[in-house]
Chains A and B, each alone.
Chain A
Amino acid sequence: MEAGDGSSVTAAAPADTRTRLLVAGAFVPIALVAGGLPSFSLAANLLVLGVGGALFWAGVTYRPLTGRSPARRWPKGSTRWLLPAGVLAGMEAVSFVLGSTPEHPTLSLLADPWLERYPVRAAGFLGWLLAFWGLVRR
């Protein structure tokens, strides 16, 4: 893929599409099943721990074929992400310390009523799986 000639680049496109279809074909059924499993159920725990654990292991042992050496410096402009990310993390931490009450809700407390609905829960689970795919390719 990184040979530098045009033919290898164009040949990569169908393979990339096939990979995406394969991932979508594997992730969508899992998300559809997971959407029907209520919180605190044994099945939900087993599914998240099993699927998550398998993907975690695959992601940690996978070696991306980027050919890049690990970057030593943060990309230029990275610090601009610190303020909003810090506010988000700080608010979450304060709400957690204050007990995650309706007056001081954490993100998970705010998300709970939405995640009780099957379509939202299934879509959220699919988003979680696709986030893995986005991470592991880097």
Chain B
Amino acid sequence: MTRVLTIAAFLAALACLAILEWRARRPDADLPTFGDLCGHVLSYRVGRLPVGRIALLGFWWWVGWHFFAR
């Protein structure tokens, strides 16, 4: 039972994210797309150090390793 509930919660959250992205891409949207949010994080710097790029691309690298290498 908990397995079904867990999967349902994951699917509900993913569906909500998809709906938000769909709404954000409409011409009269009042919220940013997921790409806009990523762009904001990527632009974050501390001095000359691109902290946002290191964090987000590091997370991307880890996701690939986690799903495709182990």
Contact = CB atoms under 8 A, between A and B. Distances in A.
Contact of B13 (A40, A91, A138): A91
Contacts, number: 132
B68 A59 contact: no
B2 A75 contact: no
Chain B interface category by residue count: 35 or more
A11 interface: no
A48 to B, nearest CB: 4
Given A53-B61, A56-B61, A78 B37 contact: yes
Contacts of B45: 70
Interface in B1-51: 2-3, 6-7, 9-10, 12-14, 16-17, 20, 24, 29-32, 34-40, 42-45, 50
A60 interface: yes
- If over half of A's interface residues share one DSSP class (helix, strand or loop), that class is named, otherwise mixed; here it is helix
- Dominant secondary structure at the B interface: helix
B6 to A, nearest CB: 6
A138 B38 contact: yes
A102 B42 CA distance: 36
Nearest to A48: B69
Given A48-B69, A59-B53, A75 B37 contact: yes
A74 B36 CA distance: 9
Closest 5 CB pairs of A and B: A77-B31, A84-B16, A75-B32, A138-B39, A70-B43
